Structure 1
Amino acid sequence: MDELTDFHRELIADVQGDADAMGMITAEAFLEKVSEILDEAGEASSLSQGYFSGRNGQKTVQVDAYSWDPTDEEGVLSLVICDFVLSEEPQSIGKTDINKLLTRLVEFVVAAKTREFREKLEETSNGFVIADLIARIWKQVGKIKLILVTNRINNSKTDAQPVGSIGNVPVTSNVWDLSRIQRFVSSGQTREDLIVDFAEDFGDPVPVLKASYDGAPLESFIAVIPGTQLAAIYDKWEARLLEANVRSFLQARNKVNRGIRDTIRDEPNMFFSYNNGLTATAEAVEIADMGEGLLLMSATNFQIVNGGQTTASIHAARKLDQLKDVFVQMKLTVVPPDLAEEVVPRISQYANSQNKVNAADFFANHPFHIRMQEFSRRVLAPAGDSSYRETKWFYERARGQFADERARRTPAERKRFDAEFPRLQFFTKTDLAKFENSYRCKPHIVSFGAQKNFGELARVVGEEWGRGDAGFDEVWFKRLIAKAIIFKNLERLVPHQPWYAGGYRANIVTYAFAKVVHDAEQRKRVLDLDQVWKLQRVPVAMERACLAVAEVANEVITHPPAGVRNLSEWAKKQACWAELSKLPVDYEAGFFDSLIDPDEARANKRDERREREARSGIEAQREVVSQGADYWKQVLAFGESIGKLDPREIGILRACTFLPTRIPTERQCVAALTIADKLEKYYPDS
């Protein structure tokens, strides 16, 4: 309880600090903080605050926030009620009080459907806005989620509980109490163990065949699960079932998903034959031997690691009568918690899937990408000489991150997000591979396309990382951004050149970039990437050199040797690169003057590292404040989770979590940055 008490006190301090800074009441500040957690946890996205409390006849009605996405095929309406208690010690909340609060939400929905209630409300009030929304979208609502957020401790352990229906719309309830919030903040765990009880909660146990021998490293089973049962399980747990998936199921509306739905509608009895099925994992299972075969009774922390689209498509079609004829094959592997981080991604990688999962997705969990993501969220890019503010470059490690980050914000927050992460400074894993392999003089590999090029970089970086990861530091990241600036600048300029006849821009850009790097190396020089980073643009001499090479690259690519007709295939040949690499280019003298000695580049890297280690107290304080309390909470939580912090370090990091209410001393800030640097090398293994 001591840990939870400490967390509660810190939470209260944070909420009060936010309330003072933003001119809000404490309950409002608390709800805003928890809304971010609900969004990140996948509980409810893009919540809008809209406090309203009143009466409908003898009934008390209340709502504090809501979420509705008109593009959501599931039609989920989320409504939130907030219970915030200002106290030094954590308080408890029981089932009676929980039901009383959730009933206020139910009564609000019931009232909102009546014109009489809506007409009594002021049209500018939050109550009218939400009630009017509910009335207009009611026919589209497929499910209602009632969410109670509270800083009290829930004594009745319930999660995703069905509570009946309003009209024909099913209703579920969730409670986010102090303990659950603390689990999420500390380790990302948002719930108690997710236990799918097939026998008790979802009709019947599932017959299974054991697919592993006695003494096998992992226990495995083969099963056939009814579509109705799978839909019911997903209806309760939703995206939490897909947490370990190699990618998120982001309501993709592609041909394959439509194909799944068409099969359910037109040939449900053939679904088993046509569909590749599911690959699932669980930390533990309960198997009953009934004499005539094995039955899967329950699974702890059940996860669908491959087949998320199949699952969600079946759920979307759950109202169709044909679902009763749908059956899905399932491979279930029991993976103990201590092996989950290592084994589950591999199962995801090698499993068959309805949609082809690209190699880029598989490598997303590699420590290299996790580190690059961390840098991209933290490292401020200089304003340069053409801007007035520092920005950041958003690295999308997992597909959909950038869109998700934007979508879940309010319009005002999106403006701030766009200013911090300009859209032009967004790049993906496959973009990174293009920048890096072009600089590594592999334009023919880049020309193979995003996935093959990425696979090559994944192999090389994996080998380099295995020999030592120290080189992939903040300086490496900044120079990566410099490569991105050069590459993107070429992409923008090439189509406007008089010699460009259209087509093959991608090939021309990668070949031109590689050639510039190659020719610099031939003179035992390198591009001054540190200058590009500081300017946040390509210096004029370098830009002109790149364009001069691009014209030569265009000539080589579009005029292949006799007998070669496919220019795209020609660009993939080592011979194409060999031909360009040996051709002379008429560079302006200023270009070679702008190059630097490799030893100078190494010295620059050493100097920046020393400068980083020797930050002054004022600079350290500025950086600590700019990172914000949430960042330092994450650093503290991570450090504690891996047991790499001593009591003094915990105290220093904790002091940083009270920003902006209390500013740490300069000495504390210097120490905090040193601690963050120390933890950085452990971050990929989190």
Structure 2
Amino acid sequence: MSELDEYHQNLMADIRREADASGIFPVEAFFDRMTDRLTEAGELEVADRAYFQSGEGGQKLRIDGYAGDPRDSEGVLGLIVCDFADSDNVQTFGKGDVPPILNPLIRFLKKAKTEEFRDSLNEANPAFQVSDLIITTWAQVTKVKLILVSNRQYIGRDDAVKLAEIGDVPITWSVWDLARFERFDLKGSDEIEIDLNGDFGGAIPALKASRSGDALESYLMIIPGSQLASIYDRWGEKLLQGNVRSFLQARAKTNKGIQNTIRNEPELFFPYNNGLSATANAVACEEGSNGLFVTSISNLQIVNGAQTTGSLHAVMKTAAEQLQRVFVQMKLTVVPFDRAEEIVPRISEYANTQNKVNAADFFANHPFHVRMQDFSRDVIFARREGERHDTKWFYERARGQYINARPKTRGRAQTDFDIQFPKPQLFSKTDLAKFEFSAAGHPHIVSRGAQKNFAEFAKDIGETWSKNDAKFDELWYRRLISKAIVFRWLETEIPKQPWYEGGYRANIVTYAMAKVFHDANGEKQVLDLDAIWRRQSVSDALKQALLLAAGEANDVITNPPAGVRNMSEWAKQQACWNGLKGRSLDYGPEFDGCLVLAENARTNERDQRKKKREIDGISAQSEVVNRGADFWREILELGMADRKLTPKDQQILQVCASMPRQLPSELQCKHALSVLERLREQGLVSV
């Protein structure tokens, strides 16, 4: 069995399990799963399901989803259509098969632009919602992006080409097929191959800024503004290093000052602008009579200069002539794929220092995420009632970790892994952010999409972490899993409710969870999260409360105020959350059993921290003793020779060096290890 066959088999098993558990159609489960990848890859900022189909043959209309309000994405209107084959074997399709899939979507777009079509539909119909949004925003639409999402393998070429235009608005299409999703799930990024000679007007002159044999290659380049704008027009926000992209989605994307310089003083753009910092997995170069030229770039990622790039693209049509006179400096570092996670975040952090952004805004290897990963590999949860094995929850802080950790060869090792880390207990950074922000009372932010929600969540975590990282201990992680259990249970149960008419499931889930947590948590009592992780399930009383809140959430979301027609966009507003938050619900007397005294919850936190301090002290003492007296005598001598030790440092290291005559206390051992770490950071020791 090939890797693609195995990926397809696992994907279909996951989709069928999700569909069966939730009572939804497999294509809906497929849409939800794969559009998460699209937003993470930067293909779209958000993906809202809006299924509609009518007619046959040449009259067929179809849409599966859209990418939110185009005014929030620089005028790009994203429309999604699914090509889903419910098959056990990998199916293929070629370029000739694309028009029958995309033409119904194009016909839908043309119809949706007309008030006649919109007014012929019920306002609750998803097609009405999309049509009304298109009519309302069409004057601001600069480009239409059609996304074909398929679980078949695409064997054509040139998957993103210009199709047609509606007036002055260009239409492009892009295929995300089975193989492309597999590459993304394994590597955590989408392949970007930029052929400068073939597609973008010519190679770029470059000066090599590294020597042969250096660990990394670096180049200084001067790129024409029109060329950079064209590259961004083709690849969009996928060019922005993923974590930076998340950060920027919470801030202004283009700079009016930069645009004014382009329009009025293009020749001054180069001296005024700081330029770009970028990385790539590989570059191709050629020597010409005038020096070195870069001819192609693999997986270009702009880690600093997103506003510059976005501003150049924003004036691509309105100031095309001036753009020809603009030049941008770019520092390009070639980082091999296997070192990307280590190097790229550092380049991003140092290049973006003027933004004063905490590292948690950016990086999957921030200590918070690393700590959550460590907990997820170590913390065992008792088996649910009726099950035979204890399990763990697998935190995937970087895309591909789960697939790469799972043994490739079928047999006992793979079975043991699947028992230890069941697939339904896999969760990512964006999942974690959804769990936390739903419980914290931010369902309107969660509804704005995984990446925007993560950007806001990262800001909160960064600020809290810098003040007190000790808060994020094992008990915090266990309570996080309780929130995950509640969230995942709601996802499966809402589609089964008699009041559910399809659509807005993701919005209802986060709103219902936020409502129950808001109503439960007060000064004297809070929701008993510890009871949820102990039993690894939701109690009957809590289930009843969550479904009651879900019904109310559905009512608030699907009945927006006068003048508001798009329910998905309504769910993204603070006013929507205020509407549900202000409703009084009677959860019944049984709900009291789901609560615990707030003081008892705080006592559990204090006990956990005390236990951690004891464990840390024992571990520190064990490490100091195992290293031996000779080791600490050498550290003492090195530190004193370089005058790096305080009197207290010397005194404690002397105790460690006199073992076994003297045995350092737990506190002394913790201090000795901190001294060792400090000397290591200063380059005095390497152990």
Asked if these proteins are the same fold (TM beyond 0.5), I'd say yes
Could you say which residue in structure 2 is the equivalent of 1:371? Answer: 370
Question: What's the counterpart of residue 101 of structure 2?
Answer: 101
Distance change in 2, residues 1:405/1:296 (3 Å): farther
**Cross-structure match for 2:286:** 288
Matches within 5 A, 1:344-363: 344-351=344-351, 355-358=354-357, 360=359
Q: 2:365 and 2:315 mapped to 1: Cα distance?
A: 36
Query: Compared with structure 1, are the counterparts of its residues 359 and 253 closer, same or farther at alpha carbon in structure 2 (3 Å cutoff)?
Result: closer
Quick one: distance in 2 between partners of 1:116 and 1:368? 55
1:183 maps to a residue whose letter is R
Q: Pick one of 465, 468, 473 that aligns with 1:435.
A: 468
Contact persistence 1:158–1:175 (CA under 8 A): no
What is aligned with 1:457?
A: none
Q: Which amino acid aligns with 1:7?
A: Y
RMSD of aligned residue pairs (Cα, Å): 4.8
Amino acid at match of 1:136: T
**Counterpart position of 1:661:** none
1:160, distance to aligned residue in structure 2 (A)? 3.8
Match of 2:304 in 1: 306
1:49 alignment counterpart? 49
What amino acid maps onto 1:428 in structure 2? I
Alpha-carbon contact 1:310-1:354 (below 8 Å) kept: no
Q: Is the 8 A contact 1:375 1:474 kept in 2?
A: no
Give the letter aligned to residue 318 of structure 2.
Answer: L
Output the CA distance in 1 between the equivalents of 2:78 and 2:207: 39
Residues 40 and 242 in structure 2, CA contact (< 8 A), matched pair in contact too: no
Give 1:532-547 correspondences, 5 Å limit. 537=598
Pairs within 5 Å for 1:147-546: 147-189=147-189, 191=190, 193-243=191-241, 248=246, 250-251=248-249, 253=251, 257-321=255-319, 322-351=322-351, 355-358=354-357, 360=359, 364-366=363-365, 368-374=367-373, 402=433, 427-436=460-469, 474=474, 537=598
For the residue of structure 1 that corresponds to 2:255, the secondary structure is helix
Map of 2:404 onto structure 1:
none
Aligned amino acid, residue 370 of structure 1: H
| Residue-by-residue CA offset, 1:400-455 (whole Å, 9 max, x unaligned) | 99599969x997985999xx99x999942231221258x9xxxxxxxxxxxxxxxx
Displacement of 1:81 in angstroms is 0.9
Offset of 1:101 from its aligned partner?
0.8
Residue 39 of structure 1 pairs with residue 39 of structure 2? yes
CA distance in 2, matches of 1:140, 1:320: 14
Within 2, Cα distance between the matches of 1:156 and 1:293? 37
- How far 1:155 sits from its partner (Å)? 0.9
Shift of 1:217: 3.2
Deviation of 1:339 after TM superposition, in Å, equals: 2.9
Distance (whole Å) between structure 2 residues aligned to residue 22 and residue 479 of structure 1: 24
Shift of 1:477: 6.2
CA distance in 2, matches of 1:596, 1:95: 59
Please report the TM-score for the alignment, with normalisation by the length of structure 2. Answer: 0.56
Relative to structure 1, is the Cα distance of residues 284 and 41 closer, same or farther in structure 2, using a 3 angstrom cutoff?
closer
Letter in 2 for 1:208: A
Could you tell which deviates more after superposition, 398-407 or 174-183?
398-407
The equivalent of 1:25 in structure 2 is 25
Q: Is the 8 A contact 1:242 1:248 kept in 2?
A: no
Asked whether the equivalents of residues 42 and 238 of structure 2 are also in contact (C-alpha less than 8 Å), the reply is: yes
How far the C-alpha of 1:212 sits from its partner, in A, is 2.6
2:614 corresponds to which residue? 602
Secondary structure (helix, strand or coil) at the match of 2:24 reads coil
Amino acid at match of 1:337: F
**33 and 349 in structure 1: CA distance in 2 versus 1, 3 angstrom threshold:** closer
Aligned with 1:318: secondary structure? coil
Tell me the SS of whatever aligns to 1:329: strand
In 2 relative to 1, CA 308–401 (structure 1 residues): closer, same or farther, beyond 3 Å?
farther
Please, which moves more after superposition, 75-84 or 341-350? 341-350
Q: Counterpart of 1:148 in 2: which secondary structure?
A: strand
Q: Are the equivalent residues in 2 in contact too, given 1:231–1:315 (CA < 8 A)?
A: yes
Counterpart CA distance in 1 for 2:445 and 2:253 is: 35
Q: Is the 8 A contact 2:360 2:368 kept in 1?
A: no
Query: SS state of the match for residue 428, structure 1?
Result: helix
SS in 1 for 2:183: helix
CA contact (8 A) 1:435 1:480 kept: no
How big is each residue's C-alpha offset from its partner over 1:198-219, in whole Å with a ceiling of 9 and x where there is no partner? 1211122212222233443333
Kept in 1, the 8 Å contact 2:303–2:347? The answer is yes
Specify every segment of 5 or more residues in structure 2 that has no aligned partner in the other structure, as ranges.
Answer: 382-396, 398-427, 482-521, 524-594, 620-687
The letter for the 1-side match of 2:369 is I
Amino acid paired to 2:168: N
CA change 1:404–1:74 in 2 (3 A) is farther
Q: Deviations over 1:67-99 (max 9, x none)?
A: 222551511211111111121211111111123
Report the Cα distance in structure 1 between the residues aligned to 2:107 and 2:118, rounded to whole angstroms.
Answer: 13
Give the direction of change, closer, same or farther, for the CA distance of 1:538–1:42 in structure 2 (3 Å limit).
farther
Residue 49 of structure 1: SS of its match in structure 2?
A: strand
Contact 1:361 1:398 in 2 (8 A): no
Distance 1:303 1:91, change over 3 A: same
TM-score, with length taken from structure 1: 0.57
Matches of 2:324 and 2:291, distance apart in 1:
23
**Amino acid across the alignment from 1:133:** L
- Give 1:105-124 correspondences, 5 Å limit: 105-124=105-124
Deviation at 1:102, TM superposition (A): 1.4
**Residue 287 (structure 1) shift:** 1.5
> In 2, distance between residues paired with 1:9 and 1:68?
31
- Secondary structure of 2:341's aligned partner: helix
Decide whether aligned partners of structure 1 residues 44 and 596 sit closer, same or farther in structure 2, where only a CA change above 3 A counts: closer
Question: How much has 1:7 moved relative to structure 2?
Answer: 2.6
Contact 1:223 1:330 in 2 (8 A): yes
1:40–1:196 Cα change, 3 Å:
same
CA drift of 1:280 comes to 1.5
Q: Following the alignment from structure 2 to structure 1, what is the Cα–Cα distance between the partners of residues 115 and 56?
A: 12
Q: Is the 8 A contact 1:345 1:362 kept in 2?
A: no
Following superposition, the deviation at residue 196 of structure 1 comes to 0.9
Which SS does the other structure have where 1:325 is aligned? coil
Q: 1:376 to 1:145 in 2, by over 3 A?
A: farther
Secondary structure (helix, strand or coil) at the match of 2:231 reads helix
CA distance in 1, matches of 2:294, 2:147: 31
Do 1:278 and 1:330's aligned partners in 2 also have CA atoms closer than 8 Å?
A: yes
Question: What count of residue pairs does the alignment treat as equivalent?
Answer: 455
